[in-house]
Structure 1
Amino acid sequence: MAHHLVVGAGLIGRPVAERLAARGDTVTVATRSGTAVAGATSLVLDAADPAAFSRAAAAATTIFLCTNPPYPEWAAQWPPIFSAAIAAASSSGAGIISMGNLYPYGSPAGAMTEHTAETTTEKKGLIRKACWDAMRAAHDRGEIRAVEVRASDYFGPGSAGTAHLGESFFRAVLASKTAHVVGRPELMHSWSYLPDIATTLIAAADFTGDWGRVWHVPSSAHSRDAIADELNAHFHSTGKVSGYPQWLLRGLGTVNPMMREVWASSYQFTVPFLIDSAETERELGVTASLWDEALFATADSYRPDPRRD
């Protein structure tokens, strides 16, 4: 029986663990606080501690790295977490699946594929690029088996209020108010549905072909203006979307570390930002959920009464 170590129990780690347990696999979920997840064993773990990480992974066949530090802490936390994960995969022989994002690619000139050059100059993108480079190098040396699954901005029931297509966006539009967003809301942007992210992570773990590569979560591309229009038509609301001026984001960043990082990566919303997952879909057999079903399920999760017409 497969034994999986899932590091992180947030919006991605929890459903991954629950699905693995539901299919009969043995699952251990490791977090700083020992978060309980149905069907899994809970473990308290500092993921930056290589000895503790290696002990946690000793019996694992697969490690899912699904933790995500706050933006301002990426520089301090990500490198030691990846180093510890590499050490744990090496000592245990477990395959490792890293949950990643599109930041390493930088500002795109077109749709980003699994083989797009990683040309970022932004700090967070450089951090994630360096971490994956280290993991892939360990794979190429034959020390571990590793892949990275990359998603665009996520959405789904329960998505955080800080998400670009999260609680604050849906509640504003559904209340016929204005959703204030980063960047230009008329531009096309790819959105990754949380259940599809979990599906792709598990499919990547089950893949019997070559590892040491990047997979892309199948996603759907829509402008936020179009999303608001679709929500208004379905829920009889009259919400609108307005983009924060870039100068305002930059100004807020001078006094707020989180807003400084939001501004630094706001380029993702000033140009069309599209993900191409054709190769992943072909090789892993995964597809994006139907857009309308995913969007309305997410919106329903934020309505006072989901049963209301």
Structure 2
Amino acid sequence: MSERQGQEDKCALVLGATGGIGGEVARQLREAGWQVRALHRRGAQVASSGDGIDWRQGDAMEREAVVRAARGCSVIVHAVNPPGYRNWPKLVLPMIGNTIAAAQVAGATVVLPGTVYNYGPDAFPTLTEDQPQRPRTRKGAIRVELERQLQAAAAQGVRTIVVRAGDFFGPHLIGNSWFAQGFVKAGHPVSTVRLPGRPGVGHQWAYVPDVARTMIELIARRATLPEFATFHFGGHWDADGTRMAEAICRVATLHGARPRQRRFPWALVYAAAPFVTTLREMLEMRYLWREPIRLDNTRLIATLGREPHTPLDTAVKATLAGIGCLGKEAPAAHAELHPS
């Protein structure tokens, strides 16, 4: 392979690079020596940030813009998602269609952060990659169709890697985050930790830097993976639904706070939902807090030999600092690697 070919092979387009997971993948790709491009409606303004990313003007809803940005790239990270659960029917499938078209032109592998929405109660409580996907929600049906389109494209030569994880949390994630918008309030000291789940019901959490590192390790092995490769990320399993809240309280207490734990005010959400779209969409997903849903990462461990894993309190501290809940302390957390 020539030096030029090697450089082209390490060029990635990240869609959603201003978001939590997309931004983290972009940062880690840069650290791993990749050239990283990103698409943004105000690309010229974002480009002044000096983050080392090649920002291109454009919208993920514009096919030609995505195709142009992807030329010369060997990987497209599709981490773009409508904020606040809104407008999924109008945005999600057109955007993945544009990514598939760009991947076909560029010969690129698509990398997708997956969700548990794809599965219905018949698959609970432990989810493996090969279980049938029979979702109970509109958003779940859309995600199933999204992955169906990627699988169909794989048969036409477009490779795909799907990494499915639990609820994301991390130092750069505020929007679409139960941690930063439900358990605590981003930008404010921790005074109350609200628990949306039923007592005793387990919940799966995924620390964004660990998920991003997992994706990058799979990208490095993409030539050896199946054309449509799906992996479940284990992350942090909160066995009784209280461990995340307890970790938040431990970390906050060490930084001078005196947090209290309270139940999440679902009654207020029901009352306001007729008037607020985001709250209506939240209610549709409440079932994820009413029964335990755990991701089996056996396939991922078999492929990588281990899963990137940051200890819970370390991850929580970095997250609280990053979202402005621990004053001006800068976040810092590094993944440890272990077999499970």
Measure, in 2, the Cα distance between the counterparts of 1:176 and 1:53. 40
Measure, in 2, the Cα distance between the counterparts of 1:122 and 1:210. 29
Cα 1:298–1:134, aligned 2, differ >3 Å: closer, same or farther?
A: same
Structure 2 residue aligned with 1:88: 102
How many residues align structurally? 304
Structure 2 residue aligned with 1:15: 24
Aligned equivalent of 2:133, options 105, 110, 118: 118
Residue 46 in structure 1 maps to residue 59 in structure 2: yes
Aligned equivalent of 2:75, options 59, 62, 68: 62
Q: Please list every run of 5 or more consecutive structure 1 residues that lacks an aligned counterpart in the other structure.
A: none
AA in 1 matched with 2:73: A
CA shift for structure 1 position 263: 0.3
Measure, in 2, the Cα distance between the counterparts of 1:153 and 1:73. 20
1:214-235 CA deviation, whole Å, 9 max, x = no partner?
1222311114533333343454
Match of 2:127, SS? coil
Could you tell me whether the CA contact under 8 Å between 2:247 and 2:312 is conserved in 1? Answer: no
1:165-184 CA deviation, whole Å, 9 max, x = no partner?
12552459x95743334342
AA in 1 matched with 2:327: P
Cα 1:300–1:133, aligned 2, differ >3 Å: closer, same or farther?
A: same
CA shift for structure 1 position 76: 0.3
Moved over 6 A (4+): none
CA shift for structure 1 position 288: 2.4
AA in 1 matched with 2:16: G
Aligned equivalent of 1:210, options 220, 226, 246: 226
Could you tell me whether the CA contact under 8 Å between 1:196 and 1:217 is conserved in 2? Answer: no
State TM-score, norm by structure 1: 0.89
Could you tell me whether the CA contact under 8 Å between 1:114 and 1:214 is conserved in 2? Answer: yes
Match of 2:237, SS? strand
Match of 1:254, SS? helix
CA shift for structure 1 position 42: 0.5
Aligned equivalent of 1:136, options 139, 151, 154: 151
Between stretches 117-126 and 102-111, larger displacement belongs to: 102-111
Between stretches 94-103 and 109-118, larger displacement belongs to: 109-118
Residue 153 in structure 1 maps to residue 155 in structure 2: no
Aligned equivalent of 1:24, options 27, 33, 56: 33
Could you tell me whether the CA contact under 8 Å between 2:168 and 2:208 is conserved in 1? Answer: yes
CA shift for structure 1 position 213: 2.4
Residue 4 in structure 1 maps to residue 12 in structure 2: yes
CA shift for structure 1 position 243: 2.8
What is the identity percentage for the equivalent residue pairs of Structure 1 and Structure 2? 28
Match of 1:14, SS? helix
Structure 2 residue aligned with 1:169: 183
Measure, in 2, the Cα distance between the counterparts of 1:161 and 1:42. 21
Measure, in 2, the Cα distance between the counterparts of 1:251 and 1:51. 43
Residue 304 in structure 1 maps to residue 323 in structure 2: no
Match of 1:165, SS? helix
Measure, in 2, the Cα distance between the counterparts of 1:226 and 1:182. 13
Measure, in 2, the Cα distance between the counterparts of 1:235 and 1:84. 43
AA in 2 matched with 1:144: V
Residue 284 in structure 1 maps to residue 311 in structure 2: no
CA shift for structure 1 position 249: 3.4
AA in 2 matched with 1:284: L
CA shift for structure 1 position 212: 0.2
Could you tell me whether the CA contact under 8 Å between 1:114 and 1:215 is conserved in 2? Answer: yes
Match of 1:241, SS? strand
State TM-score, norm by structure 2: 0.82
Measure, in 2, the Cα distance between the counterparts of 1:138 and 1:51. 18
Measure, in 2, the Cα distance between the counterparts of 1:176 and 1:5. 36
Match of 2:242, SS? helix
1:94-113 CA deviation, whole Å, 9 max, x = no partner?
11112221110134521112
Cα 1:304–1:161, aligned 2, differ >3 Å: closer, same or farther?
A: farther
Measure, in 1, the Cα distance between the counterparts of 2:312 and 2:199. 18
Could you tell me whether the CA contact under 8 Å between 2:116 and 2:164 is conserved in 1? Answer: yes
Structure 1 residue aligned with 2:333: none
Q: Please list every run of 5 or more consecutive structure 2 residues that lacks an aligned counterpart in the other structure.
A: 1-6, 331-340
1:250-277 CA deviation, whole Å, 9 max, x = no partner?
4432221111110001100011122221
